[in-house]
């Protein structure tokens, strides 16, 4: 701890510096929080709710994976992510099995727009399921540390009580301030444990009991797509103003509806990768990422649905149809950048790759 204090500098961390694992903290089954520090002693500046993308050196080649920052920028000496490995997981499982204090990892970011800092309100309703609790934890910790705990109805759904990530930390917060109301619902209870929370899937009636004034609250939702779809349908049917609804998706939406004017014109296109001196023919239905892979070029990617920004590349000429989810700014688009995972060539295109 002394060393960390001595090294602490006034400079904020930027992602050219690798992160060093400081602690690996078990949370629930197959879930751990990984706390990183900057070897230079730099501090971390981000908005609660934003994410990092890590390059994981798994056997067989590096994988990029995106994780919400579960710590709060109000505690800037370290930065944490909380990862849950699903059955069959490659990247997250590798992290749980291999990351040890002292190891260094390349990270990109922070990035993302899912933050209550962007939508100031008097009252919030956080609705999450499973590992979707991570941005809510970051925002709640920020609110707690700010000393002005806003009114947060914190609704979380888990399979069983033992799966509720951050339960005891949240209960400690909630026990001390009236503004944080914790409402958990589980599908099954643990044997030999008393459970006094809700049981069953989140429903309109349950939501009404958990947060009777939900119509007055700015809603932030994060969880598996079927869960978020159910929440959207529920709120819409209850007459909630969906302009005040914000969500973060951890996986590609099941169906991306492409506006007619943005629909790709399918036809043969030539993609030229100038720096590599190679080119490939592509039909307009294929993404630049897929075409580059066919040409033997690896563009790092993580979310594959235009959110994380990992696959950003510079376009030198030509037109693409890009339907993204916020992973690129208007300034970057104006400067000719594209997201390879969600851009389709519309005729000849040259990339700085």
Count how many residues are written for the chain: 353
138 sits near ligand FAD (criterion: CB under 6 A):
no
Q: Which is nearer to ligand FES, 33 or 66 (CB)?
A: 66
115 sits near ligand FAD (criterion: CB under 6 A):
no
Residues 308 to 327 in contact with ligand FAD, rule: CB under 6 A: 308
Q: State how far the Cα of 287 lies from the Cα of 284, in Å rounded to an integer.
A: 8
CB of 114 to ligand FAD, least distance (A): 8
Single residue of 27, 79, 84, 306 touching ligand FAD by CB under 6 A: 84
Q: State how far the Cα of 107 lies from the Cα of 57, in Å rounded to an integer.
A: 12
| DSSP per-residue letters across 250-293 | SS--S-PPPPGGGS---SEEEEEETTTTEEEEEETTS-HHHHHH
Give the largest Cα separation in the chain, rounded: 65
Q: Which stretch binds ligand FAD (CB under 6 A): 16-24, 75-83, 156-164, 167-175?
A: 75-83
Grouping H, G, I as helix, E, B as strand and the rest as coil, residue 9 is coil
Residue 20, Cβ density class (10 Å: 0-12 exposed, 13-18 middle, ≥19 buried): middle
Single residue of 303, 313, 322, 351 touching ligand FES by CB under 6 A: 303
304 sits near ligand FES (criterion: CB under 6 A):
yes
Query: CB neighbours (10 Å) of residue 333?
Result: 14
Given ligand FES, ligand FAD, none, residue 51, with its beta carbon under 5 to 8 Å by kind, binds: ligand FAD
Grouping H, G, I as helix, E, B as strand and the rest as coil, residue 88 is coil
Token output for 3 = 């060393």
Grouping H, G, I as helix, E, B as strand and the rest as coil, residue 198 is strand
252-291 footprint of ligand FES as x/- string (CB under 6 A): ----------------------------------------
92 sits near ligand FES (criterion: CB under 6 A):
no
Phi, psi of 271 (to 5 degrees): -105, 125
Single residue of 44, 51, 124, 227 touching ligand FAD by CB under 6 A: 51
Q: Which is nearer to ligand FAD, 308 or 353 (CB)?
A: 308
CB of 330 to ligand FAD, least distance (A): 20
Q: State how far the Cα of 218 lies from the Cα of 205, in Å rounded to an integer.
A: 19
Given ligand FES, ligand FAD, none, residue 13, with its beta carbon under 5 to 8 Å by kind, binds: none
Angle between helices 134-145 and 167-176 (to 10 degrees): 30
CB of 285 to ligand FES, least distance (A): 17
Classify the phi-psi angles of 250: left when phi > 0, otherwise alpha if psi is within -120 to 50, otherwise beta: alpha
Q: Which is nearer to ligand FES, 320 or 339 (CB)?
A: 339
Single residue of 91, 130, 150, 306 touching ligand FES by CB under 6 A: 306
Q: What would the 3-class secondary structure string for 165-191 be? A: CCHHHHHHHHHHCCCEEEEEEECCCCC
Q: Which stretch binds ligand FES (CB under 6 A): 121-129, 151-159, 223-231, 307-315?
A: 307-315
CB of 324 to ligand FES, least distance (A): 7
Task: Report the relative pairing of strands 151-158 and 180-186 from DSSP bridges.
Answer: parallel
Q: Which stretch binds ligand FAD (CB under 6 A): 79-87, 146-154, 209-217, 328-336?
A: 79-87
The CB-nearest residue to ligand FAD is 88
Q: Which is nearer to ligand FAD, 303 or 340 (CB)?
A: 303
What is the binding site for ligand FAD (CB under 6 A)?
51, 65-68, 81-92, 131, 134, 248, 250, 303, 307-308
What is the binding site for ligand FES (CB under 6 A)?
301-304, 306-311, 327, 339, 341
């Amino acid at each position: 701890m002394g060393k960390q204090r001595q090294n602490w500098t006034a400079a904020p961390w930027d992602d050219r510096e690798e992160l060093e694992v400081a602690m690996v903290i078990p949370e629930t089954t197959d879930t751990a929080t990984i706390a990183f520090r900057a070897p230079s002693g730099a501090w971390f500046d981000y908005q609660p709710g934003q994410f990092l993308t890590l390059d994981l050196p798994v056997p067989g080649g590096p994988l990029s994976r995106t994780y919400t920052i579960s710590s709060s920028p109000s505690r800037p000496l370290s930065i944490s992510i909380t990862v849950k490995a699903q059955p069959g997981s490659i990247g997250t499982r590798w992290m749980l099995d291999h990351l040890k204090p002292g190891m260094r990892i390349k990270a990109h970011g922070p990035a993302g727009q899912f933050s209550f800092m962007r939508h100031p309100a008097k009252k919030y309703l956080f609705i999450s399921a499973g590992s979707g609790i991570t941005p809510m934890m970051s925002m709640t910790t920020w609110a707690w540390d700010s000393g002005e705990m806003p009114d947060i109805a914190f609704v979380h759904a888990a399979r069983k009580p033992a799966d509720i990530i951050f339960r005891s930390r949240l209960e400690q917060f909630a026990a001390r301030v009236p503004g944080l109301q914790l409402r958990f619902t589980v599908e099954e209870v643990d044997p030999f444990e008393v459970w006094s929370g809700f049981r069953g899937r989140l429903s309109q009636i349950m939501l009404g009991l958990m947060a009777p004034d939900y119509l007055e609250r700015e809603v932030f939702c994060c969880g598996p797509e079927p869960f978020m779809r159910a929440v959207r349908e529920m709120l819409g049917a209850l007459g909630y103003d969906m302009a005040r609804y914000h969500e973060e998706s951890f996986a590609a939406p099941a169906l991306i509806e492409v506006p007619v004017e943005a629909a790709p014109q399918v036809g043969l296109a030539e993609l030229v990768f100038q720096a590599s001196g190679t080119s490939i023919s592509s039909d307009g239905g294929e993404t630049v990422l897929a075409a580059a892979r066919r040409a033997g070029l690896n563009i790092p990617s993580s979310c594959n649905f235009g959110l994380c920004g990992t696959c950003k590349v510079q376009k030198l000429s030509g037109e693409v149809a890009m339907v993204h989810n916020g992973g690129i700014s208007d300034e970057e688009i104006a400067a000719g950048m594209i997201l390879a995972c969600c851009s389709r060539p519309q005729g000849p295109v040259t990339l700085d790759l």
